[in-house]
Amino acid sequence: MFTRMTALAALACFALSGAAMAQETATQEETPNTVPTSEGDLSLGEDTSVPQVGQTYVREVVQDWEIQCVKTETGEDEPCQMYQLLQNEAGNPLAEVSLFKLPQGGQAVAGATVIVPLETALQAQLRIAVDGAQSKRYPYSLCNQIGCFARIGLTNSDLNGFKRGAKAVVTIVPFVAQDQQIQLEMSLNGFTASFDKTTVARQ
């Protein structure tokens, strides 16, 4: 397979080089005037560090949390969430957590999305415990090419536990070793200040 793909790539490069030679010949025969005649014809470039409308960017970092927002045309009313990448003991990223406010009136006052690897035992569900307290269990709602998602609703009691806590432990079970557990530490440093900067999820 590798040899065949390499050969195909070489053939593609050869075909492209041949096309380029033909194009160069045609260009030599009739070359339009491409020299800019005024400043209006010149591109001044675009700052790639500036987020474009609709792009997600990190507005600020609050201790162990990122405040991620989606750029709007006016820069106002940008939807924002708090985010943390969870790593195992070897420093390898294994999960992502994002939290956001929910509209008032429901039992859940905040929402969270946890993304875990595809090689996760879904029937074992996701567990979260704060500072060694009894864990809560949450089902996975869907999987795609990115990973498997648990969509979580947090009550006032849950939220206050996160605000008072020092760390939470997120536990997942690998599909290939279902007698084992992978425990990922989620720092709660900066949780309250970060949550205050999130916005209400749009319905």
Encoding tokens for residue 105?
């009136």
Please give the pLDDT value at position 19: 42
Domain extent listing, the chain: 83-190
pLDDT grade for 14, boundaries at 50, 70 and 90: very low
Q: Pick the residue with more confidence: 171 or 7?
A: 171
State yes or no: pLDDT of 109 exceeds 70.
yes
Architecture in CATH of 83-190? Sandwich (2.60)
Sheet holding 148-154, edge to edge: 56-62, 65-70, 80-87, 93-101, 110-116, 148-154, 142-143
Q: Confidence band (pLDDT; 50, 70, 90) for 55?
A: confident
Query: Is residue 1 pLDDT above 50, yes or no?
Result: no
Query: Average of pLDDT values for 74-92?
Result: 91
Using CA atoms, how far apart are residues 8 and 148, in angstroms rounded to an integer? Answer: 35
Q: How far apart are CA 99 and CA 169, in angstroms?
A: 16
Percent of the residues in the chain that have a pLDDT greater than 70, as a whole number: 76
- The answer to which of 31-35, 55-59, 109-113, 158-162 has the lowest mean pLDDT is 31-35
